[in-house]
Structure 1
Amino acid sequence: MSELVMRAEYINFLRRHRDKQVIKVVSGVRRSGKSTLFKLFQDELLSEGVNQSQIIAVNFEDISYHHLLNYMDLYQYLIDKIHPIEKTYIFLDEIQMIDQFEKVVDSLLLKDNVDLYITGSNAYFLSSELATLLSGRYVQLNMLPLSFKEFVTWHEQKGSNHSLPDLYEAYIQTSFPYAIRIDNPLERFEYLQGLYSTVVLNDIVKRMNIQDVGVLERIIAALFSSIGSLVTVNKIKNTLVSKGYKIAHQTIDRYVKGILDSLIMYEVKRYNIKGKALLESQSKYYTVDTGLRQLVLRDHLQDYGHILENIIYLELKRRGFEVYVGENNQYEVDFVAIAPDNSIEYYQVALSTLDESTLKRELRSLESIDDQYPKYLLTLDQFNQTANYNGIQKLNALQWLMGE
């Protein structure tokens, strides 16, 4: 168990909702740690005196459970195993593989002695469809691969004395939990290749019945290469046409939806700061793991500015913000982060602002905002790491990622 990464924030979510009459839903891209989270929580239950017979765990990626892919067969299997008196903890992993799974979980929720936990690896579990099916009877945790802080903490526990910049260099190779134990670059590449292929083939191609996998992968590459840049369907189409592909707008829309549903990428919409409204045209896209991007784009390995921006975006999501690309007059703000209480934070991200012209350009976007919400400039500068420019706080991005 010492090899497992303790995801404190996520395990605390399960603790808070334990034994409550709601379905605990954990969603996230494949291999982000959902199954391991369940294993850690099950071990905790056992250590607190819960008997093994009170825990039922089914992972539908395991072929030994494929006889349960029919929802009625699954329901009967679970009913036969539920403890007659004591609380039974049921964990159903990758339940999106079960057609009409909601009928099973609805029926289980009616039983007073069942505590139910499920995971899913596509955006169906982030959508209004799930809310309609389970209508107020669930709580949801959106799980991402390792944060930089979790990555650093694991290495420190293993006795690492590397500096934060060195660990950051390792972190951008991949943030998937299993991969941090792989020192060999070739083995890590093969692991990511297998993960990427599984997501593309199972969560996009198979789910959406896509015929032209080559075009799909071209679109993924186009989105990966454009992180940090505004993208339109027309821009993607022009890129494909320049490479000899003929494709309709509707097909690109459908393929992009499949990519987003697989949770390997996120769309970030534009937000008019002055008007407090979303803008429909153009979005930015960020990947769930920068290692996957490097896998697909072997010629973008030194694109450090956009990689840092991607990592800051994911961290803002982890901290519970709704994140948008800001527009204020003619200026663009990298991130407008809106908290659950509707308070706002503004972020500009740059590798370095030691050059005066770069500093002036990065500050200009934040200076154009005339409200009093906090404004931050995040960089990797080793010198002049912190400064205050008329209320705009400069911070070292690595320290910020560590929560300092």
Structure 2
Amino acid sequence: MNGYLRGIIRQKIVDAQAAPLPEFTFRDTRVPVVKGKAIAVIGMRRSGKTTLLKQIISERLKQGVPREGVLYFSFEDERLAGMKSSDLDIVIEEFYRLHPQLRVHQRVVLFFDEIQVVPDWELFIRRLLDTENAEIFISGSSARLLSREVATSMRGRALEAVVYPFSFREYLRHEKVEPSKPAEEWTTSDRSTIESELRNYLAFGGFPEATGIKGRDRQELLRAYIDVVLLRDVVERYAVTNPAALRWMVRQLLGNAAGSFSINRFHADLKSQGFSVAKDTLHTYLGYLEDSFLLQTLFLATDSERRRMVNPRKIYPVDTGFIPLFDRSGKENTGHALETAVFLELSRRGYAIGYVHTASGHEVDFLARDLTKGDELIQVCTDLTQSTTREREVRALLDAAPEFRNARLRLITLEPPPGVEFPPEIAITLASEWLLLD
């Protein structure tokens, strides 16, 4: 058996090193570079994790690492079923048997995709970090590799690179219309193209495989993504005993994107529908959905932990393309989609985010905090043409400003604002420009 497994592993290594790298759209995902740490590439299914690994391989080759010094090994292979942690050494042995000169003279780059199917894989990775001159990347589906598991299993020996569906810039790059100049140098034609593509992006989302697919086919593809996450990453993984309540929760959450969500109110709704499920179970289910990267929740920005926990959370799907699948209003979702896009972009940029509720009852969409860039209060609005809308958005920002004195004030809008004066302390920014900031 060992000889059979060794032969398969050797052949996979040879084939992977001989295979040309596929064409891909360059991703802007931040990949930490810290010596002595493995990098765990995580994110929702179909968001592009394997593509990011291939991108990193391409970058290392351009930096001068020889092709034989790069190992990409996927454990998602039925021939490797039943592989044990003790068998993982065979991968390294065969790699160095093929290229013995590398072990002493060359720092190598090792990519282990879906290594989580092998029990006790983390012991193997930690030992490689201690004994080999290697840069190590691991990746896997969210069913087997979660943030908290990386932290627990690797005991501080791994850092995360979180892969989202395409950002707006990546979407434009994929469509071959990424602007090469800053916004102030855009021509009228440039601006028209970018703003038209932004509306498409908000409506259809940024999953790489779904880009360019229209109508019913796209909707069915995105629904299939959600179904796989629910079945494999939640129901099967955690042995969920009330999948009907879980699906009801998903419909409620994704159908109310950028809205508030209260477990207490949802529990009462379920009870009225005849579901018997405990509140603690619903809290657990919500955590599962976040772990699977299907959605993220946003807490109230406050120093009081009690206020943070008792106030409703806001819900944002991982992609704006999910919003129309569950919306029941029959209206356009542009406002919710734009707010979701801004939230996801803030997350990509590494901000700590909360929402603000003032003592006067006004709400600001985001308080975004960064140690180097400072704090910013951000309000998102599709159209500022109506005076009542302008006054509401401006009033909320000005009302929150005294509580967060060091925060800059920004109003992000989809449409160019009318020729009226705004308070000078509020920066008015077009979404098409803000989403493309570096």
**Which TM-score band (shorter chain)?**
0.7 to 0.9
Secondary structure of 1:376's aligned partner = strand
TM-score by length of 1: 0.87
Q: Give the secondary structure class of the aligned counterpart of 1:199.
A: helix
Per-residue deviation at 1:342?
Answer: 7.9
2: CA distance between counterparts of 1:96 and 1:284? 32
Q: Does 1:362 align with 2:393?
A: yes
Match of 1:100 in 2: 120
Distance in 2 between residues matched to 1:217 and 1:60, nearest whole Å: 31
Change (3 A) 1:175 1:72: same
Q: Between 237-246 and 286-295, report the one with greater CA deviation.
A: 237-246
2:81 to 66, 69, 75: 66
Quick one: structure 1 residues 55 and 65, their matched pair in 2 at CA, closer, same or farther if it must change by over 3 Å?
Answer: farther
Other-structure match for 1:379: 413
Counterpart residue number, 1:399: 433
Which of 211, 223, 239 is residue 253 of structure 2 equivalent to? 223
Unmatched segments (≥5 aa) in structure 2: 1-20, 180-188
The answer to whether the aligner puts 1:270 opposite 2:300 as a matched pair is yes
Asked if the contact 2:229–2:292 (Cα under 8 Å) also holds between the matched residues in 1, the reply is yes
Q: Which residue of 2 aligns with 1:170?
A: 200
For 1:176, give the aligned amino acid: F
Deviation per residue, 1:213-264 (Å, 9 max, x gap):
2221111111112222221111221232333322211221121111111011
- 1:89 and 2:109 correspond: yes
Quote how far apart the aligned CAs of 1:184 are: 3.7
Taking a change above 3 Å as real, the CA distance of residues 296 and 76 of structure 1, as seen in their structure-2 partners, is: farther
Task: List structure 1 runs of 4+ shifted beyond 6 angstroms.
Answer: 158-162, 275-278
- RMSD between aligned residues: 2.9
| Superposed CA offset, 1:40-61 (max 9, x none) | 2223334555444433223344
Please give the TM-score of this superposition, normalised by the length of structure 2: 0.81
Shift of 1:277: 9.1
Give the match for residue 266 of structure 2: 236
- Match of residue 280 from structure 1: 309
Q: Kindly report which structure 2 residues correspond to 1:235-314, keeping only aligned pairs within 5 A, or say none.
A: 235-272=265-302, 279-281=308-310, 282-297=312-327, 302-314=332-344
Match for 1:42 among 45, 50, 57?
A: 57
Tell me the percent identity.
27
**CA distance 1:216–1:207, change in 2 (3 Å):** same
Cα gap change, 1:256 to 1:197, in 2 (>3 Å): same
Q: How does 1:127-146 map to 2 (within 5 A)?
A: 127=148, 129-146=149-166
Q: Which is worse superposed, 298-307 or 372-381?
A: 298-307
Residue identity in the other structure for 1:80 = E
Kept in 2: contact 1:385–1:395 (CA 8 A): no
CA deviations 1:344-401 (Å, max 9, x no partner) are 1110111112111111111111111211421111111234389641301111112111
* Inter-partner Cα distance in structure 1 for 2:307 and 2:90: 47
Aligned to 1:26: 41
Other structure's SS at 2:218 match: helix
What SS is found at the alignment partner of 2:205? coil
Partner-residue secondary structure (3-state), 1:271: coil
